[in-house]
A and B are shown apart, each in its own frame.
Chain A
Amino acid sequence: MRLDVWGVRGSIPAPGPSTNRYGGNTPCLSIIDSKGHLCVIDMGTGVVPLGTAVLQNALPIEDDFGGGKGKATVLLSHGHWDHIQGFPFFAPVFIPGNTLNIYGNARTSDRVEAVLEGQMNPQFSPIYTLKNLGATIKFEGVRERQCFRVSNLEICSMELPHGETSALSFQIKEDGKTLIYASDAGYPAEGAPDAIVEFYRGADVLVHDSTYTPEEQEERRHRGLSSYVDAAAVAIRAEVGKLVLFHYDQDHSDDMVDENVRKCAQELERRGAGQIEVVGAFEGMTLEI
């Protein structure tokens, strides 16, 4: 499978020259499997340039979204604004004939629909309701430890503590390769629960929340997000192949992210896990897994 990164920023988009290299868009990744199926993970503002790329046929996607014959899968970790705010501007949803299957963090499909419907309310959006989108949108509630298959991808979910709420982590497998998406993870001070470590175990690539520096984490533990040290610690315990830092604080400049990635590599080295490669996710990054 191929991973493309479209948005890496947490909380709120952060435009400006100081975020040009890593990017200022809120979370969005895309996975394209060996059959050319498109799977979108979270719909922060990064989903807007993804939509443009899809309609320009700039990606190895089998379906014809421009001609209204596309079927995409969308996995939503949770309903915080930074993970859904790009949806009303994702160009393929305006083309009749396209289908989006949206899997969200809720017990029922109705609840997933209600979260996205609340975003389209006419007080806030000129779209008024999801029913005005041209594409067919289907919803599916996903609970912890649920597994399902789309196209050639095996997908499983796991609940991550996230402040007073939770975010879903997704494990995505194809042909013996595994990617884990773990954004917005606020583990207890003693570290991630064993069940979560087991869920990540042996992944080829772990895309992990690294919002804070350890110093910021000291003051903000209650907010339910990780520091790069939290990310390093869980990557070591789960013996992953590659750690991709993600969901940067909105106030961190490119130079600060560089520094955090460097310190994270040192942390891995210091703990005897120098074999784990660490990179900072940036808009435009592509990985073949």
Chain B
Amino acid sequence: MKVRFWGVRGSFPVPGKQTNRYGGNTSCVEVEVAGHAPIVIDAGTGLRQLGKRLVRNEFRDGNGLVHMLISHTHWDHIQGLPYFSPLYSEGNELQIYARQPGDTHLGAVFAHQNDGPYFPVPLASLKARVQFNELLEGQQFDIGDVKVRCTRLNHPWIAMAYRLDYGGKSVVYCSDTAPFRDILLEHEFIATPPSAAVPLDKQHEIQLRMMREKLVDLCRGVDFLIYDTQFTPEEYEAKPHWGHSTPDDAIAIAREAGAKVLCLFHHAPARTDDQQDAILATYKHLLRDDDLELVCAAEGMVVDLAEVGS
């Protein structure tokens, strides 16, 4: 099993010299299993380049199947979909998996992006077959020979983390989430950070603790953990209600779960390559005597899980 990064940026795509090395495309990760249909996690702008690769192969003749797990439908996680070339060939098939959105159908949520006046080709007139699979929190299912599990995260309008297991190797994708201590993020709009003087609601505290336990459980012994680390500790202090974590939060979860490699992901749009280098260096130093290995996601990076922990 291999993990390939097509987009690593959070919030919105950021072209320019300052993102050349880590990449400016929004979230998109491919999980490759030899002889298996590609599995894509999230459909940010990075998806466009993946689509260009796919249409050079079986997708050109309309014989392609791709599975796509969506963490949540914020723009930076779905905005590449209308520009995914395989959708424009008859016979190709796209299976989309995402959390059941509550008050509407998943298909209706995705259709909005392709509707007028935003985009010229409605979802219903795409040549490829697009099917939606609505997931419940904690659901387990198979994509071919790959076992998939999911659990919910602490993020406005709720995101899902996914674990994929195949041939004794495993990867977890955990984006986007706030840590599980200061504020519960669900459907309510929260405009300002919670006041330090007001203690966290008891019920919320219990919910957050359970959410965290389930995430640690999902990450138990995983080979490769991809984690939203958009914020520095200072940025988190100012914006705990935005629903993103720091490397410290990710390290705490990775350690508790006994993950082998932690991969920093969903980089802040304003973060330059040099700043990202500095963040990675700081935390690598912190973990110098630790079993946990730390890496940082960059566009084009490929990780062969066969080489992890061996």
A contact residues vs B (CB 8 Å cutoff): 9, 11-17, 19-20, 23-25, 45, 48, 78-81, 84-86, 88-89, 105, 115, 118-119, 121-126, 128-129, 132, 163-165, 223-224, 250, 283
Contact = CB atoms under 8 A, between A and B. Distances in A.
Contact of B75 (A19, A23, A124, A224): A124
B207 interface: no
B252 interface: no
B126 to A, nearest CB: 15
B24 A15 contact: yes
B20 A17 contact: yes
Contact of B119 (A16, A81, A122, A123): A81
A85 B73 CA distance: 15
The SS class assigned to the A binding surface is loop
A15 B7 CA distance: 10
Nearest to B26: A13
Interface string B129-171: 0000000000000000000000000001100000000000000
A15 B16 contact: yes
Closest 8 interchain pairs by CB? Answer: A24-B15, A15-B24, A79-B117, A15-B15, A13-B13, A126-B156, A128-B189, A17-B20
Contacts of A79: 116-118
Given A45-B12, A122-B156, A123-B101, A16 B74 contact: no
A14 B7 CA distance: 12
A279 B118 CA distance: 29
A12 B45 contact: yes
The SS class assigned to the B binding surface is loop
Interface in B181-216: 187, 189, 191
A211 to B, nearest CB: 14
A163 to B, nearest CB: 5
A126 B74 contact: yes
Given A11-B83, A15-B19, A122 B24 contact: no
A89 B75 CA distance: 12
Most buried by A among B82, B118, B299: B118
Most buried by A among B79, B120, B191, B242: B120
A283 B15 CA distance: 11
Nearest to B108: A123
B135 to A, nearest CB: 15
Contacts of A119: 118
Contacts of B9: 15
8 contacts: A13-B13, A23-B15, A45-B14, A48-B269, A80-B120, A123-B157, A124-B73, A165-B116
A88 to B, nearest CB: 8
A88 B17 CA distance: 23
A163 B117 CA distance: 12
B25 interface: yes
Contact of A16 (B23, B80, B191, B243): B23
A17 B25 CA distance: 12
Contacts of A15: 9, 13-16, 19, 23-25, 45
Contacts of B53: none
Given A12-B79, A12-B80, 11 more contacts: A12-B13, A15-B9, A16-B20, A16-B299, A20-B16, A89-B269, A123-B101, A126-B74, A126-B157, A164-B120, A250-B83
Contacts of A17: 20
Contacts of B36: none
Nearest to B83: A12
Given A48-B12, A79-B117, A80-B119, A125 B75 contact: yes
A85 B75 contact: yes
B191 to A, nearest CB: 7
Contact of B15 (A25, A78, A163, A165): A25
Interface string B50-89: 0000000000000000000000011100111011000000
Contacts of A20: 16-17, 20
Contacts of A129: 189
B48 A81 contact: no
Contact of A13 (B45, B109, B116, B242): B45
Contacts of A12: 13, 45, 48, 79-80, 83
A159 B193 CA distance: 45
